[in-house]
Amino acid sequence: MKRIVFSILVIGCGLLEAQPYGSLDDLTAQLDSLTYYLDSLHKNLEDRWLYSKKIRLKGIEDVLKRLENLESVLLWESPFKYETIKEFKQEIKTTRGTPVFIYHKFGDIIIYASDSDELKVDGVIELVSKSREIAKEYAKEINVKIEESEDKIKVITLSPVKSSPAVHYQINLKILLPKWSPVVVRNAFGDVEIEGIEERCSVNTRFGKIGLREIKGPIEVANKFGKIELTLAHKISCNISAMTTFGDIETDLPLKIERDRFILKALGVIEDGRIWIKLNGKNSDIYIRVLK
């Protein structure tokens, strides 16, 4: 059995060796073999009988070395020459209390609070492509859209309908938001920073850092991979519940920290617990700071 596993390792990793940057199909094939090989390892480890026999997977050290080859494939500098930058700017008036929903996927989001009732969205779309024609074609499709309805405002980033390995892009948003607007942010591959909002903030991202500073309304944060940094105003009255599965929690506040099997929790009521704060990280470190 060990020999079989080791053979899978060698074959799988051999495919990864010394692969220059190629097409997306090449990359997919390499990733498939690595995933297959890792799955085999995973399954063997899960077999408790083998595990209790202290299965010695000598190939694992070798694998770490071979993973370095994947580094050159995945962390390459883009060979594409044509970089297009497209800017988006829009301002709209908001009514007090209207929530703003931001749906984003690739890129960072920075939100500042303002005293005015205007919502300003500045988007910078960075598009890198193989050719000028492709860049132009795709730049038309990638955009930011603002939808206004009676009870909410939606800021949505639009991706091209048809994906191409010859194009990659990211959209970075800077948003000036009335401080009395509740905000809901959904993102995937990018950081989210919000400062000074006095209403409810709900942030959910999967692969990026979340930083919230001096938010005075209720907070709800969920992150999968990426740290969560919360900086609270001095003498805030709140009821905090923070939990992370595979991370750590650091706090300036006197919270009760406990571990329940996989989950690390920090709970506590500060002053009279007027606003609730819920921080939920999966593989995230959580930092709760208080301004002096």
Residues that bind other proteins (CB under 8 A): 24, 27-28, 31, 34-35, 38, 41-42, 45-46, 51, 54-57, 60-61, 63-64, 67, 70-71, 74-76, 78, 105-107, 128, 159, 163, 165, 167-170, 188-190, 206-207, 224-225, 245-246, 262, 282-283
Nearer to other proteins, 112 or 225 (CB): 225
Q: How far is the CB of 75 from other proteins (least distance, A)?
A: 6
Structure tokens at 15: 């495919």
Q: How far is the CB of 149 from other proteins (least distance, A)?
A: 28
Q: Is the dihedral of CA 211, 214, 215, 219 positive or negative?
A: positive
Q: Give the C-alpha separation, 133 to 263, whole Å.
A: 50
Nearer to other proteins, 102 or 264 (CB): 264
Q: How far is the CB of 235 from other proteins (least distance, A)?
A: 37
CA distances from 64 to 13, 26, 58, 60 (A): 10, 21, 11, 6
Q: Give the C-alpha separation, 28 to 32, whole Å.
A: 6
Q: How far is the CB of 138 from other proteins (least distance, A)?
A: 10
Q: How far is the CB of 237 from other proteins (least distance, A)?
A: 34
Nearer to other proteins, 156 or 176 (CB): 156
Q: Give the C-alpha separation, 25 to 190, whole Å.
A: 25
- CA triple 113-114-120, angle to 5 deg: 90
Nearer to other proteins, 12 or 268 (CB): 12
Q: Give the C-alpha separation, 264 to 248, whole Å.
A: 7
Nearer to other proteins, 61 or 115 (CB): 61
